[in-house]
Amino acid sequence: MVTEKKWTDPVTQLKGVGPKQSQLFGQLGIFSVRDLMHHFPFRFEDIGVRDIHTIMDNETVTLKGKIVTPPVVNYFGGKKSRLSFRFALDETTIIQVTFFNQPYLAKQLELGQIIGVYGKWQENRQAILGMKLIRTHQDARFNPVYPTTKGLSQTQIIKAIRQAFEDYLECIEDALPTMLNDSYQLLDYPTALYAMHFPQDAQQHQQAERKLIYQEFFMYQWRLVVSRQYAQEKQGTRILYDVDALREVIETIPFELTPGQKQAINEICYDLLAPYPMQRLLQGDVGSGKTLVAFITMIAAVQSGYQTALLAPTEILAKQHVQSFNQFFEPIGLRAELFISALPAKEKQEKIEGLEKGRIRVVIGTHALIQETVNFNNLGYIVIDEQHRFGVNQRQALLDKGEGVNYLQMTATPIPRSLALSIYGEMMVSTIKERPQGRLPIETIWLEAAQSERLESHIKETLSQGHQIYYVLPLIDESEHMTEIENVLAVQERLQVTYPNYQIGILHGQMNKDEQEIAMQAFKSNDTHILVATTMIEVGVDVPNATMMVIQSAERFGLAQLHQLRGRVGRNQLQGYCYLIAQPKTEQGIQRMEIMTSTNDGFVISEEDMKLRGIGDVLGLNQSGIPHFNYANIIEDQTILQVAQADVQRIIEQPTLIESAEWDRLTERIQQTVVHI
Ligand code: ADP
Ligand code: MG
């Protein structure tokens, strides 16, 4: 019986690929013929054939010619061998070719054959020391070099991939509608795939990449639409809140909400009312007041009879949130309870019971909330603060504590709105652009050394005005001759000597939670005036009286991180200052300092950071909910992403733009891999 060839056939279907090789391919994540065809070279060796007269001694080149004497192998010294023959490059130029220790090549060579030899030119011997034999597929210039694993040679990979294209070419299906291929003059998919491995020239390789990038974005956008439809069919908890009651709550807040906060609240409330479970991202620069937006929408859930939970990444933050929730809303009879692992056993048990019976309506806590022992009576809405600090599984675990639970994630590392929209889709992102009124932009100053006249007098002035200072140190790595604690203590001591009339507190990762808490409280209550800290304070800490921050070795921090850090100052009407102490050694490092001193806009900064470090490093790709793309780069290829999004929208609105068979094919392809955001 002849079975039909399928793209998804295992690689062992290919001639020459046995169980051993297939196991090695497996180590590279390659199981099917399709996987193999998508195993792209990570670079190309330029094997452009060169003219002998332009070559310099010892240069590595490819020469093309004809074998004019029978190849001979000489063995010497046991296993060592030399293969040599004479090689005519043209009518008049004959050179010597020598391959050491590759006797098996002789079998592939014969008199009169035209081949390429890649190797090192030896001027005085008029010989080329062969490194690689090139039986040129026509005249290709580029030799692919693949990621591989021990035991699997480049030649074996290339051979298998060639075989794959030979046997399975007709199985490669172009999922993109013809209309799009035509209007953007994209290569057809089989050609593009082939050219990713064996391009005719650099330009064709580029065209191939263009096709793959567009296609990847297009499929992603199509999938997004499908998942959204799917999500909206799911049964969610409807938060039927009372608008007037909520308005009354908002009126008790001692300041006016910013337009961005109001809009975010509206968008979230709209989603909460809808019959599907909300999944929304709230992004806003540090200090833009996201927490309050979360609180108010949580109250909407409570007022309509549901329980609500806020998950924070650290105990310090959880406590701070509880404190500020109760400060705002306890006067009107709404109370948040803290849930962290450090609670005394009895109290913890009481709270577990309170949550289970539904007595506790608002809970704010850390990872402890995710534990199995914690159950809710009727959880309707959860908020996750600093969402990049949590894994997908942790978020899911909390969601699973109710049914059709609405879900808001918050982040202070915003991505540009246009990009966010392309990635998450129109209805899933709320953005707070501005900070509350009256906030002055933080003034950022870059200095080379901490012991500077300017900095010292500014510190003195700040302290004498009764304001406080964060002094941030980078994490120490093991190679340095100092521990984290030693470093913190040394700086504390130095500052204590310089400013003897003030209290210098410390906060670092080696302190236990109680000690950290005490240090934080002392700073909050202005009992310590300078807080020397490692990046512990990065997230969300709110001490409005701190107006100045000094960041040591600022070149060690990423841009987004620096911006988050300095967001700890300038939290009220007072002017905030941030001193970056840095001696960057690289161009990039200098650039980072310049960006920091020139802009206060978190969106600009995160975009710059993504350009410098890649989106994955900035957001923590696996955690961020940002999709992973194989070929496309969301930042660099933004424009293509937007084009693809517009195309998908156009086609969804007017399906007759494409053939119905094409529509079916797309739908089928997508349904195999619906993503649930
Ligand atoms: P983030 O978005 O970084 O989480 P927060 O929610 O911590 O910001 O808010 C920063 C500070 O601004 C808090 O002290 C908060 O009470 C205050 N705040 C929030 N909204 C406003 C507003 N509309 N007007 C004035 N202050 C506000
Ligand atoms: Mg916050």
What is the length of the chain?
677
Alpha helices, DSSP H, located in 274-314: 290-303
Q: How far is CA 392 from the centre of its chain?
A: 14
Question: Look-up: residue for tokens 């204590």?
Answer: 496
C-beta 237 within 6 A of ligand 1: no
C-beta 286 within 6 A of ligand 1: yes
Question: Measuring CA to CA, which residue among 333, 379, 339 is closest to residue 357?
Answer: 379
pLDDT digits (tens, 9 = 90+) for 106-155: 888 888 888 889 899 998 999 999 988 876 555 456 778 899 999 999 98
C-beta 463 within 6 A of ligand 1: no
286 CA closest ligand 1 atom index: 3
| 384 alpha carbon, closest ligand | 2
Distance in angstroms (rounded) separating the CA atoms of residues 302 and 324 = 17
179 pLDDT band, cuts 50/70/90, is very high
Q: Show the tokens assigned to 677.
A: 């955001």
C-beta 250 within 6 A of ligand 1: no
Alpha helices, DSSP H, located in 385-473: 392-399, 417-424, 453-464
| 436 alpha carbon, closest ligand | 1
pLDDT digits (tens, 9 = 90+) for 88-98: 988 888 999 99
C-beta 431 within 6 A of ligand 1: no
C-beta 144 within 6 A of ligand 1: no
pLDDT digits (tens, 9 = 90+) for 548-602: 999 999 998 888 889 989 988 988 888 999 999 999 988 888 999 999 999 998 8
Q: Give the distance (Å) from ligand 2 centre to CA of residue 376.
A: 25
199 pLDDT band, cuts 50/70/90, is confident
C-beta 290 within 6 A of ligand 1: yes
pLDDT digits (tens, 9 = 90+) for 464-518: 999 999 999 987 665 667 788 888 999 999 999 999 999 999 998 888 888 888 9
Q: Give the distance (Å) from ligand 1 centre to CA of residue 601.
A: 16
Q: Using alpha carbons, list the distances in angstroms from residue 456 to 43, 499, 620.
A: 51, 9, 37
47 pLDDT band, cuts 50/70/90, is low
| 261 alpha carbon, closest ligand | 1
Question: Look-up: residue for tokens 């290709």?
Answer: 140
Q: What percent of the chain has pLDDT over 90?
A: 52
Question: Look-up: residue for tokens 């997004």?
Answer: 224
Contact 674, 227 (CB under 8 A): yes
The more confidently predicted of residues 233 and 17 is 17
C-beta 207 within 6 A of ligand 1: no
pLDDT given at position 627 = 66
pLDDT given at position 623 = 46
- Report the nearest-CA residue for atom 15 of ligand 1: 289
385 CA closest ligand 1 atom index: 4
pLDDT given at position 677 = 37
Distance in angstroms (rounded) separating the CA atoms of residues 584 and 473 = 16
C-beta 436 within 6 A of ligand 1: yes
Compute, in degrees rounded to 10, the torsion defined by CA atoms 56, 61, 65, 66.
110
pLDDT digits (tens, 9 = 90+) for 419-431: 777 777 655 889 8
pLDDT given at position 242 = 87
C-beta 602 within 6 A of ligand 1: no
Quick check: 448 pLDDT over 80? yes
Residue to probe by mutation, ligand 1, list 542, 545, 568, most atoms within 8 Å of CB: 542
Q: What is the mean pLDDT of residues 324-338?
A: 96
| 435 alpha carbon, closest ligand | 1
C-beta 411 within 6 A of ligand 1: no
Quick check: 537 pLDDT over 80? no
Distance in angstroms (rounded) separating the CA atoms of residues 52 and 379 = 77
| 546 alpha carbon, closest ligand | 1
Mean pLDDT, rounded, of the chain: 88
Given phi > 0 = left and psi -120 to 50 = alpha, else beta, which region is 425? left
43 pLDDT band, cuts 50/70/90, is confident
pLDDT digits (tens, 9 = 90+) for 239-255: 888 889 999 999 999 99
